[in-house]
């Protein structure tokens, strides 16, 4: 799978920005696994990855008129090496 197909976009929470954390939350493809996420981050951003954790984020109920639904999404929490950061922009899409 192409690295740009594995990662969708960066989501850096305010708490991580304020604390100078080395963790970045990245929405990922539903069928990607940890090894693909690690390789994609290392290739796209030229950083070393220490740890990758994945989780499914539960969705909130949504409505469009009378149609109700919800959509969960998968995210990866990536921790990079000491002294390295993932830049905010530009996103390689």
Read off the pLDDT of residues 23-60 as tens digits, 9 standing for 90 and up. Answer: 777 788 888 899 999 998 899 888 899 999 999 989 88
Is the pLDDT at 91 greater than 70? The verdict is no
Distance CA 5, CA 73 (A): 15
Share of the chain above pLDDT 70, in %: 78
Burial class of 68 by CB neighbour count within 10 A (0 to 12, 13 to 18, 19+): exposed
Q: Does 3-60+72-80 carry CATH code 3.40.50.2300?
A: no
SS3 for 41-84 is HHHHHCCCEEEEEEEEECCCCEEECCEEECCCEEEEEEEECCCC
Domain ranges for the chain: 3-60+72-80
pLDDT of residue 29: 84
State pTM to two decimals. Answer: 0.75
Confidence label for 3 from pLDDT (cuts 50, 70 and 90)? confident
């Amino acid at each position: 799978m192409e690295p740009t197909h594995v990662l969708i976009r960066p989501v850096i929470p305010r708490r991580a920005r304020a604390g100078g954390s080395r963790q970045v939350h990245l929405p990922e493809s539903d069928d990607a696994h940890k090894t693909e996420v690690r390789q994609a981050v290392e290739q796209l951003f030229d950083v070393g990855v220490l740890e990758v954790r994945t989780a499914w984020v539960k969705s909130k109920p949504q409505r469009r008129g009378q149609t109700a639904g919800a959509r969960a999404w998968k995210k990866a929490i990536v921790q990079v090496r000491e002294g390295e950061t993932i830049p905010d922009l530009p996103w390689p899409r």
